[in-house]
Structure 1
Amino acid sequence: MFLNYCFYILTLLAFTASAAKIDYQAAKDYEGYQLLEIIPKSESDLNILSGLSKVFGENIDFWKQSLTIGKPTEIFASPELKAQLLSYLGANSQMTPAVKLENMGQIVRDDAIDTPRPPPSASLDENIKAVNLSEFDFNEYHSHQEINSYLKALSDEYKFVQLGSVGKSHEGRLMQYIKIGFLSEEPKNAFFVDAGIHAREWITPAVALHFINKLVTDPEMVSLLEDIDVYVLPSVNPDGYEYSRTVERLWRKTRSGPRGPNQCYGVDPNRNFDFYWAYSGVSKDPCSEVYCGPSALSEVECQSLTQFLKSHNSSIKAYVSLHSYGNLIIHPWGHKLHAYPVDVDDIIHVGKEMARAITEAGGPEFTVGTGPEILYEVAGSSQDYAESVGIKYSYTMELTNSFTGFVLPKSKIQTTADHILPALLVVADEVRLIDQQDSSSEENEIDQ
């Protein structure tokens, strides 16, 4: 086992030794950037807020977008954008932004002390180290290579754990997953969990690793794993994740490109899946945070995940994509309001059970609904794609709220995992109850 693991490490080192240096610029410091909160008080205010993307284009970065009077919109703004927003809102409304985060630069600097980063000149997947499972710290934000090394060590140690890969990222990083479950003579249902689609949402791979650890080490999980298999893909967007670790802490997209006259990089992977692609809630501007790409599945990461889900949709009965932040459990469909799968009542019921499990574990109240109902319209999401290929129970979970937004201190990892894991186990138990021979229900849309 040890020799096999050493061979694996040497193989990866040989690969990375031949890889070119990634041309990352100096790390972005976010000095003076603020998170602004704006509360609409009328339908007119809502219309003005929804039109900000057209007014400010690529410069606007919504962290939350209000669909309801009295519910806040949050905008991450540079000093220049803040001045422009104040002028525009002052001329067109009575809304005045409140400062929710005074200086993101200081928060990012504090975060860098809390979680030291490699230098911006780091080569692709360098510094791979062997993992001692007994010493692995689940309350750290690990690099992509550390995550992959942990998955490899698990598969070497436990016979009921299998290591696989859905493919490689744009920059060549392995997108590895773990399949956990005991062998069975009968076909088994499966549950698929992924994380890290958006690069800056570091808490999501961390919670995914906690989920893996519980499944593998908790004796109470044996019965579950005799009945179903669980797939966990901790890092869907490894290039973006590593870029956020080395250069731009709040980077969201992939790292493909550059594209457009301004030579901007990346695509929002959660707008790039082939289901109502580019229908709503997206931008065609390559510099936008919600750029949907030049075509559906333009991103190799989305292609790989799509192929895996489609090829396993006869066994995978549930899909959960971990995101942050907002305390939300989102279900299909996301491309427009009042659009639902035919079995939406079942989907909502399980979603509410997930929310109840979180509160019973001491966590906050989670809101259940479609994206247009509780957040915003999102076309081309992984959740909707999974639903469209017959994976009935498909959800996006927006994890814990925090006054620091996406920059959640590592001291919060354990508590967040303690709250979220019971919800994931609710879904796993639902998968356990589904008759393997029961065909997937038709995914026709209901308009109300």
Structure 2
Amino acid sequence: MLRGSYLRLISLTILLIALPEEFAARDYEGYQLLEVIPKTESDVRTIANLPNALGEHLDFWKESRAIDQPTEIFLSPESKSRVVKYLKDNSIAEYRTKIENVGEIVQADALDTPRPPPSAARDEQVRPFDINSFDFNEYHSHAEINDYLKFVATNKSKFVDIKSMGISHEGRQMSYLKIGYPSNEPKNAFFVDAGIHAREWITPAVALHFINELVTNPELTVLLENIDVYVLPSVNPDGYEYSRNSERLWRKSRSGPRGAEGCYGVDPNRNFDFYWGYSGVSHDPCSEIYCGPEALSESECQHLTDFLLQHNDTIKAYVTLHSYGNLIIHPWGHKSNAVPDDVNDIIRVGTQMARVIREAGGPEFTVGTGPDILYEVSGSSQDFAKHVGIKYAYTMELTNTPTGFILPKSRIAHTAGHILPALFVVAEEVRNTDADNTHENIIN
């Protein structure tokens, strides 16, 4: 046992030495994940006010909006003592250290996932691709993901096309697949994306499982004769690659630097042009929830916006994959007690999604608006999709885990196994939706 641990430590040391200095991975040694459970409404408000009260940038992995729902806060050793003092001073007694040393988990994760130094130019190099050696239960690089998409489009060319949504800030292709048999008549479409937050590695992995099922399962032929499915596995490729090579828990895009401290990145899911900057955001460039200097400041968000506007006459459903929380979130997110006029249809489908997840052996998923079951957030891709006329728009916060965003790759297949049935519920709803269906997205 000791020998194995020693060899792993040597391997990690060699990995870090081999990387150029600018790509050396942050180790997060001594960082902890603190779980706090509010017992009163006053506790909920007190916990939410933590960043303002301490004047610090705190990284909330989960936020509570209700009594007995845990909040999870990622803390440096220095911040932990201040946060604990604040909790004690405000008579909040129910808290515990959920992860004693995040650095240990990150180091183990680094050994488990090979990562060459990042390069947008390297991403575009032509490499031999062997589908037999492509492991769907691995966290692949952006380049490997694009290689797989190219392979599928080449080998399933009768009903699969690969296209680029645009170029990221650092020059990476935002490749997506259009999956569906040609038709002389207009077809409804279903759009799925993943990876908008860099550290949520499970989401591109689930998107690849979804693609594989669509292109290899002959029972889906009838579905694909009737609808098209668009899949964009990585909305934020620059952030994703940065999280793979430098900071595993990086969340934002990679634009910048901005502000006096020269901070990088914008939260892409707060950068869309619908109630941008209204609520649940920060205007501080160093914040994890920085909404950007203006709506659509991020090229990745602009490209996705352009695509949705170009196809909003045919796209009837939009699902964006996030982690984590066991949640199916629907509009609107910018304020409490606001729902679209067709909310009953949206809840009906969301409830069916939760049911099939449970039937597939997954956990119980909660369905509701962000303010009701998570928190207020404005400028999200989900709300923008609904705003431009896409009837069904959901954010899926995938399965809770003991290690937060650092989900072992051994859990990829299990997670995909209960998420894919929910995606096919939406696909069938798209198939059965009137192609001429139009609606007003009224905010009630």
Aligned to 2:84: 86
Distance 1:175 1:319 in 2: 17
Which of 20, 23, 27 aligns to 2:25? It is 27
Aligned to 1:314: 313
Distance 1:251 1:209 in 2: 22
Contact 1:198 1:253 in 2 (8 A): yes
Distance 1:254 1:23 in 2: 21
Q: Deviations over 1:305-360 (max 9, x none)?
A: 00000110000000000000011000000001110000000000000000001011
Shift of 1:417: 0.6
Answer yes or no: is 1:140 the counterpart of 2:125: no
Distance 1:443 1:312 in 2: 17
Q: 1:122 to 1:302 in 2, by over 3 A?
A: closer
Partner-residue secondary structure (3-state), 1:342: coil
Contact 1:205 1:234 in 2 (8 A): yes
Shift of 1:113: 1.4
Aligned to 2:98: 100
Contact 1:330 1:396 in 2 (8 A): yes
Contact 2:206 2:416 in 1 (8 A): yes
AA matched with 1:156: T
Aligned runs of 1:53-92 on 2, under 5 Å?
53-92=51-90
Aligned to 2:400: 401
**Normalised TM-score (structure 2):** 0.93
Distance 2:92 2:253 in 1: 37
Distance 1:276 1:75 in 2: 27
State the aligned residue count. Answer: 425
Distance 1:169 1:103 in 2: 33
Runs of 4+ in structure 1 over 4 Å off: 120-124
AA matched with 2:79: L
Shift of 1:53: 2.3
Distance 1:127 1:105 in 2: 33
Partner-residue secondary structure (3-state), 1:35: strand
Aligned to 1:251: 250
Q: Please, what is the CA RMSD of the aligned residues?
A: 1.6
Partner-residue secondary structure (3-state), 2:177: strand
Aligned runs of 1:424-439 on 2, under 5 Å?
424-438=423-437
Q: 1:293 to 1:23 in 2, by over 3 A?
A: farther
Answer yes or no: is 1:44 the counterpart of 2:53: no
Partner-residue secondary structure (3-state), 1:303: helix
Contact 2:120 2:170 in 1 (8 A): no
Distance 2:169 2:20 in 1: 12
Distance 2:30 2:288 in 1: 20
Contact 1:133 1:154 in 2 (8 A): no
Distance 2:124 2:342 in 1: 46
Partner-residue secondary structure (3-state), 1:63: strand
**Normalised TM-score (structure 1):** 0.92
Aligned to 1:11: none
Deviates more, 1:304-313 or 1:133-142: 133-142
Distance 2:23 2:218 in 1: 47
Q: 1:340 to 1:34 in 2, by over 3 A?
A: same
Aligned to 2:200: 201
Aligned runs of 1:314-353 on 2, under 5 Å?
314-353=313-352
Distance 1:304 1:120 in 2: 22
Shift of 1:135: 2.9
Aligned to 2:270: 271
Aligned runs of 1:131-170 on 2, under 5 Å?
131-158=129-156, 159-170=158-169
Contact 2:323 2:399 in 1 (8 A): yes
Aligned to 2:225: 226
- Among all aligned residue pairs of Structure 1 and Structure 2, give the percentage whose two residues are the same amino acid: 68
Aligned to 2:359: 360
Aligned to 1:215: 214
Aligned to 1:18: none
Shift of 1:193: 0.1
Deviates more, 1:51-60 or 1:353-362: 51-60
Gaps of 5+ in 2: 1-18
Q: Deviations over 1:81-132 (max 9, x none)?
A: 1011012222222335300011100000111111122246896527753222
Contact 2:23 2:245 in 1 (8 A): no
Contact 1:155 1:161 in 2 (8 A): yes
Distance 2:120 2:335 in 1: 42
Q: 1:177 to 1:434 in 2, by over 3 A?
A: same
